[in-house]
Amino acid sequence: MFYGNGRQYEGDWKNDLRNGKGFEKYANGNIYNGAYRNGKAHGKGVYTWTNGEVYDGEWDAGLKHGYGFWKGLKGDSYIGEWFHSKAQGYGVHTWKNGDRYEGEWKLCLKHGQGTDLFANGDTYVGEYVDGKPQGKGQYTWGTGSIYVGEFRDGLKHGRGKWRSNKEPICNMYDGEYFNDKKSGKGTFSWASGNIYNGEYRDDERDGFGEMKWTDGSIYAGTWKHGI
């Protein structure tokens, strides 16, 4: 069937509506090839945009819904679950630069449990809220540093443990964070054996704390801006 605006449909009909298998080319050049019910894409089908974007998967009443594969015009891709045309449920998104996320989604945002594998070698495994790490998780840098603890809005926030590498002897911190910085009470242990136990503010020793050096020296008192 040809429409006056250049749109065309070839396929099955029932009760004057597209029902069954069909092929449709829209006036803007986009194409849908797949199943229909009551005039709308329903079941399995492939939708191709003129800009090169493609969705191949399940549909419900004209919306991407169920399981499907999407390829974006910039080389990004997503394969997984959809709900009312939004990535929702479990899925894998791969970016053109090599970054990859595997996990739970809600309204096209990382939400729930998931894993980020970054092209630079960094990884994050843990909880997400509205697209950002939030809750408990582990971030590992490509350099070998590791943080295990709490996050908020993508930043280290709350209680956590950091170490400079995976070796048994290395710099380590166990304590509180605020907006990605050591703030509150914590203990920092150097690979040299020196230990500081006390208060931090903005990543520096600030407040009351005790410093022990390997030569036996000890200082217990007030610190300001690390001194």
pLDDT for 148 equals 98
State residue 59's pLDDT score: 98
Element of type H or E holding 115? strand 109-117
Q: Which tokens is 219 given? A: 């200082």
Would you say 72 and 53 are in contact if contact means Cβ atoms under 8 Å apart?
Answer: yes
Phi-psi region of 63 (alpha: psi -120 to 50; beta: other; left: phi over 0): beta
pLDDT of residue 30: 97
Tokens of 183: 């703030």
For residue range 42-78, list pLDDT tens digits in order.
999 999 999 999 999 999 999 999 999 999 988 999 9
Residues 8 and 1: beta-carbon distance below 8 Å: yes
- Give 102-154 pLDDT, tens digit per residue: 999 999 999 999 999 999 999 999 999 999 999 999 999 999 999 999 999 99
- Mean model confidence pLDDT for the chain: 97
How far does Cα 71 stand from its chain's mean position?
Answer: 18
Query: Would you say residue 1 has pLDDT above 80?
Result: no
Residue 117's pLDDT is: 98
Per-residue pLDDT of 83-104, as tens digits, reads 999 999 999 999 999 999 999 9
Q: Where are the chain's structural domains?
A: 1-73
Mean pLDDT of 24-48: 97
Q: At 4, is the pLDDT very low, low, confident or very high (cuts 50, 70, 90)?
A: confident
Contact call for residues 93 and 87 (beta carbons, < 8 A): yes
- Provide the pLDDT for residue 31: 98
Residue 151's pLDDT is 98
The mean pLDDT of 24-29, rounded to a whole number, is 95
Share of the chain above pLDDT 90, in %: 94
Q: What is the pLDDT of residues 166-177, one digit of tens each?
A: 888 999 999 999
